[in-house]
Structure 1
Amino acid sequence: MKVLLKQATIIIGLLMISTILYTGVTTAVAQIFFHKSANGSLIYQQKKVVGSELIATDTLNPKLFIGRVPLASNLAQNSSAQKLAISKRVAQIHALDPYNSQLIPVDLVTGSASGSDPYISLAAANYQINRIARENKITPKQVQLIVNSATTSALNNLLGTTAVNIVKANLALQSINK
């Protein structure tokens, strides 16, 4: 019995030490090689944190890019609650830009898995360019430049599609309006 207790104590001690070492090594590697990501991809302006590239805030401000619906949903696509939520969002987007007759890109009316996704499709960003230009009293070309600067490549998205980070784009828009 004493032998088993001694062996168990040694094994538990080794596991605790290896867990602490693993955590320390992982943290050190993250801080050295992925410092910005490891610390939340914070965005600074004048030495002050103004947001994170990874977390979008919900807004229906017509001067800014509208992102994905903030609440993640596990509703089926054909559920009446999901259809109602989508039609409500479509009405909100049409109210923001009644002059736009284009089809609304699906990512502007559906939720993301996380509920705080800072990325929208290029189509969703392009859908909003004329409204944003009109509301901010700038040219669509200026808004397009902002979209281009906030667009990630497919390679950055692990060979997915290109996407626009609306946190970066909205901060750029807000700096124009100051």
Structure 2
Amino acid sequence: MLNQIRSAIVLTLILTVVTGLLYPLTMTGIGQTLFATQANSSQIKRGDTIVGSSLIGQNFTSDIYFWPRPSATSPDPYNAAASSGSNLGPTSAALVERVKTSVESFKAAGVTTAVPADAVTSSASGIDPDISVDYAMLQVARVAQARGLDPEAVSQQVKANTRQAVLGIFGEVGVNVLALNLALDDLKK
């Protein structure tokens, strides 16, 4: 009986050291060595100041900036602590009404083309930092006018900040809104 208790205690201690100390420290070391940016929240800095993360969207509302897709976090948009989807399905009357209202506001602003889905719907996390190239291109004229820039220069920034699918098949083509807006801010400097 004592042999079994001793074996259980020794095994518990060994597994605690291996799974509670060695494994986490090894994974942290590998993460910091091979994937330091990702392991440290993909921070975007301007000088010594952290201005955001490439993984979490921000609520840009000024006309001089590209706008992100709608956020599902309420009442504060892009609140990472409240990350979740809206849980509104395609048959939800509230979702249909919100999308219709959003599309009508784009049409009232002079948009004559189809409005991309990501311009009027939130992502599953509610804090997606990326938008589609179509949604970004839809905003080029507004941003160019607000900044006093040539629309072609703004369009070039969209193209320069477009992230391609990894190996052409993994992930979606998209534009990180924070990176694009920071690149536009740098144009004026």
The reply to whether TM is greater than 0.5 is yes
Most deviating of 20-29 and 166-175: 166-175
Pair 1:130 & 2:137 matched: no
The 2-side partners of 1:53 and 1:100 are apart by 28
- Secondary structure of 1:143's counterpart equals helix
Q: Which amino acid aligns with 1:108?
A: A
CA drift at 1:145: 1.9
| Aligned mate of 2:171, from 147, 152, 160 | 160
CA 1:156–1:26: 2 relative to 1, 3 Å? farther
1:76 to 74, 86, 89: 89
Letter in 1 for 2:35: F
Residue 84 of structure 1 and its aligned partner are, at CA, apart by 2.0
Rounded to whole Å, the distance in 2 between the matches of 1:65 and 1:93 is 14
| AA of the residue aligned to 1:53 | S
Structure 1 position 104, deviation (Å): 1.0
3-state SS of 2:103 partner: helix
CA distance in 1, matches of 2:45, 2:167: 21
Question: Which amino acid letter does the alignment assign opposite residue 3 of structure 2?
Answer: V
Counterpart CA distance in 2 for 1:101 and 1:46 is 41
Q: Which runs of 5+ in 2 are unaligned?
A: 73-84
1:93 and 1:174, CA in 2 relative to 1: closer, same or farther beyond 3 A?
farther
CA deviation string 1:118-177 (max 9, x = no partner):
111111111111111111110111111211221111117862331111110111223345
Partner residue in 2 for 1:151: 162
Partner of 1:50: 51
Letter matched to residue 8 of structure 1? A
Instruction: Give the AA of the match of 1:113.
Output: A
Q: Which residue of 1 aligns with 2:18?
A: 18
Q: Following the alignment from structure 1 to structure 2, what is the Cα–Cα distance between the partners of residues 54 and 139?
A: 29
Cα gap change, 1:118/1:62 in structure 2, threshold over 3 Å: closer, same or farther? same
Q: State how far apart, in whole Å, the 2-side matches of 1:5 and 1:84 are.
A: 65
* Matches of 2:156 and 2:184, distance apart in 1: 11
Question: What is the DSSP-based 3-state SS (H/G/I as helix, E as strand, rest coil) of the residue aligned with 1:51?
Answer: strand
> What count of residue pairs does the alignment treat as equivalent?
176
1:88 aligns with 2:101: yes
**Cα drift, residue 99 of structure 1:** 2.5
Alignment root-mean-square deviation, CA: 1.9
The percent identity for this pair of structures is 32
Instruction: Name the amino acid aligned to 1:50.
Output: V
Q: CA, structure 1 residues 135+5, in 2 after alignment: closer, same or farther (shift >3 Å)? A: same
- In 2, the alpha carbon distance for the partners of 1:92 and 1:135 equals 18
**1:139–1:177 CA distance, 2 compared to 1 (3 A):** same
- Superposed CA offset, 1:14-62 (max 9, x none): 1111111110111101111111111111111122111111111123322
Quote the Cα distance in structure 2 between the aligned partners of 1:8 and 1:52: 45
Residues 69-93 of structure 1, C-alpha deviations (whole Å, 9 max, x = no match) = 1112211111101112222333454
